[in-house]
Amino acid sequence: MFEISTHSSIAEIGQQRWEELNTEAYPFTRYEFLNALETTGSVSPKTGWQPLHVEVRQDGETVLFMPLYLKQHSWGEYVFDWSWAEAYERAGRNYYPKLLSAIPFTPATGPRWFSSLNKEQIEPLIAQILSQLCEEYRIETAHLLFPRTSDKPFKGTGMMQRMGCQYHWFNQGFKDFDDYLASFNARKRKDLKKERRKVAEQGIKFEQLTGDEINAQVIETFYDFYVMTYLVRGQQPYLTKAFFLELSETLADQMLLVMARHEDEYVAGALSFFDDSTLYGRYWGCTQEFDSLHFETCYYQGLDYCIAKGLSRFDPGAQGEHKIKRGFVPTPTYSYHHIKDPQFNLAIERFLDEEKRAMEHRMLQLQDHLPFRKEG
C-alpha cells in the first residue's frame, strides 16, 4: 500500500532525504538547483509555479520523490499546449491550474523521479499519482515533460505520449575539433571553419570557467547578458540574479561559463551545466553584436569542451534547425499527458497521433541536411 503526500517546497523534504534517493549526477534535479529556483523567487505561487513535490511511502519508508508543480499558465515549459487550453476555454472548462512534473524553464531530458522501487512498479505508480492528485485537487490535466523512461513507457496506464524534436551532438570519440570536422563533407567543413575564423579575426577571445573560477563578479556580468536576450524581445527574464549567484556557490562544479572578451571587455556569455556524460547548454546573452559570435559562444566552445573532457553528448537546448548544419542530429524528445475528460482525451490523442507522424516525417527529411560525409 502506497501513501502519497505532497510538499509545498523542496526545503520541506530537506537535502539529506532528497539525496538518499536521488543519486543522479544530472544537474537539474540536484537539490541545490531546485532549491535555488524556489528560494530566489524564480519559482513560486506568484510566478505561477507552486511547488507540490511528491513523496511516496511504503510501510513507513520513503520509496519515491518526484518534482511536481501546480501551474497557472504554460510559460517556461517548452512543450506547447496553449491550443489545448484555448479549447478548454471555448468549452467553458478550466484548463488551469494543471499539474506539471518538469524542471522549470529547462527542456533537458533526464530523470523526473527517484525511487527504490522495482522499475516495473514505477511508471504505473507515476500515472496513479498524477491521476489521484487530479481528483484530489479537482484538476483536469497532468503533464510529465522530458522524462527519461523505459522502452515501453507508461504502457497501459492511459498516459498519452507526445513526441518533440531537439538537436543533439554525439561524440564519436573525436580527438579534437579538427578530427570532428573531418567527418564533414568538404563544403560544410569549409563553412564551419570560416565561421570560427570570422570570430577570431574580430579579435574575440574566450574563457571557459568552471568551479571556483565562476565568482560573483563574473556572474553579475553574465546576468546582464542574459537579461538582454529577453529585453530585446520586450520580455522579462524568468530567472533572477540571485538564482545564478546561489548556483555559483552551490553547483559551480557542474557549471561551464563561456565568456567572450573583446578589447579587454566581456561582450557575451553562455552558461551550461554538465554531468558525467552530457553538456547541457542553457542560457546565453550579449551586449554587442559580432558576426558568428552566437554560434561560437553557444556551440563551438561547448563542442571543444565536450571533446576535451570526453563527454558523449551535447544537448544545447530547445528548437533551432540552424544547429543541423553544425552537426547536431535531430533527436526525439517525449512528454506524457493525463487528460481526465474522455472527449478531450480522445481529441488530443488524435491530434498527437497526427503530430507524431508529421514529426517523424520532418525528422527524416532533416537527416538529409546533416553535414557529414556520405560513406560509399
DSSP lists the bridge partners of residue 57 as: 3, 62
Q: Which residue has the cell 522499475?
A: 119
Angstrom distances, CA of residue 109 to CA of 65, 138, 164, 305: 17, 29, 11, 20
pLDDT in tens, 33-82: 999 999 999 999 999 999 999 999 999 999 999 999 999 999 999 999 99
For residue 64, the model assigns a pLDDT of: 98
- Give dist(CA 333, CA 339) in Å, integer: 20
Q: Are 284 and 226 in contact (CB under 8 A)?
A: yes
Using 50, 70 and 90 to split pLDDT, how confident is the model at 151?
confident
- Give dist(CA 63, CA 280) in Å, integer: 29
- Give dist(CA 98, CA 70) in Å, integer: 6
Using 50, 70 and 90 to split pLDDT, how confident is the model at 372?
very high
First to last CA, the chain: 59
3-state secondary structure of 71: strand
Candidates 335, 304, 300; CA nearest to 110 is 335
Candidates 101, 41, 93; CA nearest to 67 is 101
For residue 320, the model assigns a pLDDT of: 86
Q: Check whether 168 has a pLDDT greater than 80.
A: yes
Alpha carbon 256 to its chain's center: 16
- Give dist(CA 52, CA 66) in Å, integer: 9
CATH class of the structural domain 2-163+333-369: alpha beta
High-pLDDT (> 90) share of the chain, %: 94
Q: Which residue has the cell 538537436?
A: 167
For residue 376, the model assigns a pLDDT of: 58
- Give dist(CA 80, CA 100) in Å, integer: 13
pLDDT in tens, 71-112: 999 999 999 999 999 999 999 999 999 999 999 999 999 999
3-state secondary structure of 99: strand
Neighbours of 78 (CB within 10 A): 20
Average pLDDT, integer, range 295-322: 96
pLDDT in tens, 249-289: 999 999 999 999 999 999 999 999 999 999 999 999 999 99
Q: Are 148 and 315 in contact (CB under 8 A)?
A: no
- Stated pTM of the model: 0.96
Instruction: Kindly give the residue spans of alpha helices, DSSP state H, lying in the chain.
Output: 10-13, 15-21, 31-39, 82-90, 119-137, 177-181, 186-201, 216-231, 241-250, 293-295, 301-309, 342-366
Which CATH superfamily hosts domain 172-311? Answer: Gcn5-related N-acetyltransferase (GNAT) (3.40.630.30)
Candidates 328, 28, 353, 33; CA nearest to 192 is 328
For residue 232, the model assigns a pLDDT of: 84
Candidates 233, 208, 362, 218; CA nearest to 296 is 208
Candidates 302, 304, 239, 238; CA nearest to 272 is 302
Q: Where in the chain is the domain with CATH 3.40.630.30?
A: 2-163+333-369, 172-311
